[in-house]
Amino acid sequence: MRLYLIGYMGSGKSTVGRKIARFAHLRFIDTDSEVEKLEGASVADVITYQGEEYFRQVERRVLEKSAEEDNVVVSTGGGLPVWGDNMERLSQLGASVYLRRTAENIISRLSPYGREKRPKFRGLNDEQLLSFMKSHMAEREPIYSKADLVIDCDTMSDSQIIDLIIKEIKNLK
Ligand code: S3P
């Protein structure tokens, strides 16, 4: 079983992914952390100094490498599915779950660090951040919603989200 968690920045993919992996005895991979290991630099620095195109190429290599694992939960960076044919590739490799949240909900959960570490959020005041997120999420929604399972997470606790995924896992490919 390969399970890919997708969704916008700050939707909780890494937290939920790590917990599912522990519960279901699966390995856990976080694509941002894998990029950081390969590059020896933070995602923010890779994007800032090497450019987004370069970052996306490394991210794709990490996606390909996840195919070497059979029992794994993969938390993907928010932009991974929308780059090139990554969504198709990810769907070939395993089951996908989209953790959907509204922009307002993500902002209410975002720590100052969570805001600062994402280059796309930097330098935006609250109002600008909300309007950027709304239009950016709307652009990505058609791709994210191709996932095998879509979960509206705004009113759910982490444990409810995890229970739902565990319950549905057997019905996913
Ligand atoms: C990005 C999301 C980030 C990270 C990078 C770009 C995006 O991952 O890969 O900053 O374009 O949505 P998270 O979704 O884990 O924040």
Q: Distances from the Cα of 142 to the Cαs of 7, 81, 87, 92, 100, in angstroms? A: 11, 11, 11, 18, 12
Q: 3-class DSSP state for residue 107? A: helix
Q: 3-class DSSP state for residue 28? A: strand
Query: Which amino acid is present at 45?
Result: D
For atom 6 of ligand 1, the residue with the nearest CA is 79
Residue with tokens 């989200």: 161
Regarding the beta carbon of 95 and ligand 1, being less than 6 Å apart is answered no
Q: Using the mean position of ligand 1's atoms as its centre, give its distance from the Cα of residue 142 in Å.
A: 17
Mean pLDDT for each consecutive 10-residue tract of the chain (173 residues)?
97 97 96 98 96 98 97 98 98 97 97 92 94 98 98 98 92 77
The answer to whether 143 touches 81, Cβ cutoff 8 Å, is yes
State how far Cα 171 lies from the chain centre. 21
Regarding the beta carbon of 63 and ligand 1, being less than 6 Å apart is answered no
Q: Using the mean position of ligand 1's atoms as its centre, give its distance from the Cα of residue 26 in Å.
A: 23
pLDDT at 172: 79
Candidate of 15, 33, 42, 43 to mutate for ligand 1, largest count of ligand atoms within 8 Å of Cβ: 43
Q: Where are the domains of the chain?
A: 2-167
The answer to whether 168 touches 149, Cβ cutoff 8 Å, is yes
pLDDT at 173: 65
Separation between Cα atoms, residue 77 and residue 120, nearest integer Å: 13
**CATH architecture of the domain covering 2-167:** 3-Layer(aba) Sandwich (3.40)
For atom 16 of ligand 1, the residue with the nearest CA is 9
pLDDT at 169: 85
The answer to whether 66 touches 74, Cβ cutoff 8 Å, is yes
Separation between Cα atoms, residue 65 and residue 43, nearest integer Å: 18
Regarding the beta carbon of 32 and ligand 1, being less than 6 Å apart is answered yes
Query: Which amino acid is present at 31?
Result: T
Query: Which amino acid is present at 170?
Result: K
- For residue 62, give every residue at least 6 positions away whose Cβ sits within 8 Å of its Cβ, in sequence order, or none: 29, 31, 34, 35, 38
Q: Using the mean position of ligand 1's atoms as its centre, give its distance from the Cα of residue 10 in Å.
A: 8
pLDDT at 170: 80
Which H or E run includes 165? helix 158-169
